[in-house]
Structure 1
Amino acid sequence: MSASRIALITGTSSGIGLATAVAAAQSGWQVVATMRNTAKAERLLAAAGEAGVAERFRVMALEVTDSASVTECVDAALAAHGRLDAVVNNAGAGALGTAEHVSIADVRAAMEVNYFGVVSVTQATLPHLRASRGRLVTVTSVGGVVGQPFNDAYCAAKFAVEGFMESLAPVAATAGVRVSVIEPGAVASEFVASQQIDIPAMLDAAGPYASALQAYINRTRASFGNAQSAADAAKVIIATLDADEPPFRVQTSDWARDFVGTKLADVDGSRVQQLTAEWVAAS
């Protein structure tokens, strides 16, 4: 058993999850770092070693779309540490495509990992967070506030997460659990590359949407060329985790804050539609 604060973090094999796990350990947390395939833990453990916090890590397997895996992981974390003080829902996956060109199976898959996985981990850990009066932090996206072209399924899942957490937050607070969502914009990580998208094939299959898709791809490549680092995004997550009075909604950059702010002030949706229409306009 450990007297340290214990944080369980999902999706820690790369990107924001890896950076957040290391930053949490540097901030004094004992980290249960979870990932689908623990054979991919080498980079995380190397980063933890370089940061001098390797002794604060315990790597566990967790497939967020498998309820048995969720239960097994949470039970193992409790057996090892005796408590949970924070959970960071970070695991997720992209889904590029628009309504006529994505299958229902693809939409369901995006919902499973990005939404139902979050719900499953939250349900399994919330009783233990109540016991510790802990923190529940979920990494969503600016795509959980602003619907974005060719991200129909991804944004739908992230919108669902935001609605779930916004509804849960005041109820959880009555039991001492603070709930926050973190909204990154473009982050330079393996998240985009890991999608293994065949862009030429997508363009060939896009039909009447080919010019819009090409414009969107051009714009997206440019935005990720100026992306925030995963380490900078992780600093915001840890600041939220450590805050005495964490806000519900937190953006990880000035750009993300301005982008989300556009939507939250846009009562009739016209400003967002005008903005995102520019992303798919042929130059």
Structure 2
Amino acid sequence: MPTGTRRTVLITGTSSGIGLAAAVAAARAGWNVVATMRDPGKADALREAAAKAGVSEHVHVKRLDVTDPRLVAACVEDVVVEFGALDAVVNNAGAGHVGTIELETVADVRATMEVNFFGVVEVVKAAMPHLRASGGRLVTVTSVGGVVGQPFNEAYCAAKFAVEGYMEALAPVAAAVGVAVSVVEPGAVGSEFIANLGLDIPAYVAAAGPYAPALTHYLDRTTQAFAAAQTVDDAAAPIVDVLTAERPPFRVQTSPQARAFTGLKLADLDGSAVQSLTGGWVTASS
């Protein structure tokens, strides 16, 4: 049943990381949160965090696999029936992927696109009629990798670039029917994102052939970047800001580092600055 006069937000990918933090923060900010995940059996961490924050009654766990169109449609309809309206959606579910095309299959690339891009599209497709009815918000967590292409992240960046382009194109159309669209771009965040890649790094490097030196340099650099990563709570805070802002921006970064990184690309008209920067990620430092 609806929780008082709270507005309702559906957030995908809430079993850990930014999604979990955003679900708790949104509940604390006055939202009725439908927190979705592929496996509700992994909801203990979310429930514990919600209880600690005193918002358990405002966080409702539901099963949702964003790559299953029938589940997406059914989940959205259930939310509207149960809570009376859908006022906002936060597309957060996604999966990291490290690889380069000679070392993987096209099927690997398609699978990365499926969860990170088409999963978002499925949720948007199901939610838009209800967001239009409520004059709601559509927020999508992308990545600085949706602005700057990064070595050994070809498929992941392609998916995030696609999401950024999709939302940038959708935003004025959605605004014409009363729906505000925003993208939130985190950089390195101290979550389970890297662990969830499931990479056997020594074995992966050993199998990389001529790419092994570049891959080693990239992994060393990335490990260092995540050692100084932003906390999940800090990364989630801009999501709640976008949900509650009177006039939410289209694009927002979650840290000064993310702003500087994406700013380089947005001001780099011929692409040379980005290539110079990321080229240094895969070569030995002098």
TM-score band, normalised by the shorter chain? over 0.9
Runs (4+) off by over 2 Å = none
Q: CA deviation at 1:177?
A: 0.4
Q: What is the aligned partner in structure 1 of residue 212 from structure 2?
A: 210
Secondary structure of the residue aligned to 2:194 is helix
For 2:229, which of 227, 237, 240 is the aligned residue? Answer: 227
Q: CA deviation at 1:282?
A: 2.0
Q: CA deviation at 1:123?
A: 0.5
Where structure 1 has 5 or more consecutive residues not aligned to the other structure, the ranges are none
Q: CA RMSD in A?
A: 0.7
Q: What is the aligned partner in structure 2 of residue 48 from structure 1?
A: 50
Q: CA deviation at 1:121?
A: 0.2
Structure 1 letter corresponding to 2:219: I
For 1:185, which of 180, 184, 187 is the aligned residue? Answer: 187
Rounded to whole Å, the distance in 2 between the matches of 1:124 and 1:169 is 16
Structure 2 letter corresponding to 1:65: T
Rounded to whole Å, the distance in 1 between the matches of 2:187 and 2:30 is 27
Structure 1 letter corresponding to 2:210: P
For 1:269, which of 256, 263, 271 is the aligned residue? Answer: 271
Rounded to whole Å, the distance in 2 between the matches of 1:94 and 1:57 is 26
Rounded to whole Å, the distance in 1 between the matches of 2:284 and 2:12 is 39
Structure 1 letter corresponding to 2:52: E
The alignment's TM-score, normalised by the length of structure 1, stands at: 0.99
Q: CA deviation at 1:205?
A: 1.4
Q: What is the aligned partner in structure 2 of residue 34 from structure 1?
A: 36
Secondary structure of the residue aligned to 1:4 is coil
TM-superposition CA deviations, 1:142-193 (whole Å, max 9, x none): 0000000000000000000000000000000011100000000000001110
Secondary structure of the residue aligned to 1:194 is helix
Rounded to whole Å, the distance in 1 between the matches of 2:79 and 2:44 is 20
Q: What is the aligned partner in structure 2 of residue 65 from structure 1?
A: 67
TM-superposition CA deviations, 1:105-158 (whole Å, max 9, x none): 110110000000000000100100000000000000000000000000000000
Structure 2 letter corresponding to 1:166: E
Secondary structure of the residue aligned to 2:25 is helix
Secondary structure of the residue aligned to 2:242 is helix
The alignment's TM-score, normalised by the length of structure 2, stands at: 0.98
Secondary structure of the residue aligned to 1:71 is helix
Q: CA deviation at 1:252?
A: 0.1
Structure 2 letter corresponding to 1:97: G
Q: How does 1:88-107 map to 2 (within 5 A)?
A: 88-107=90-109
Rounded to whole Å, the distance in 1 between the matches of 2:194 and 2:86 is 31
Structure 2 letter corresponding to 1:232: D
How many residues are matched? Answer: 283
For 1:198, which of 197, 200, 210 is the aligned residue? Answer: 200
Rounded to whole Å, the distance in 2 between the matches of 1:156 and 1:70 is 23
Structure 2 letter corresponding to 1:11: G
Rounded to whole Å, the distance in 2 between the matches of 1:132 and 1:190 is 34
Q: CA deviation at 1:31?
A: 0.3
Q: What is the aligned partner in structure 2 of residue 157 from structure 1?
A: 159
Rounded to whole Å, the distance in 2 between the matches of 1:249 and 1:281 is 32
Q: CA deviation at 1:4?
A: 1.7
Residues 1:77 and 2:74 are matched in the alignment: no
Q: What is the aligned partner in structure 1 of residue 249 from structure 2?
A: 247
TM-superposition CA deviations, 1:53-96 (whole Å, max 9, x none): 00101110000000011011111111110100000000000110
Secondary structure of the residue aligned to 1:188 is coil
For 1:168, which of 167, 170, 173 is the aligned residue? Answer: 170
Rounded to whole Å, the distance in 1 between the matches of 2:81 and 2:104 is 42
Structure 2 letter corresponding to 1:119: V
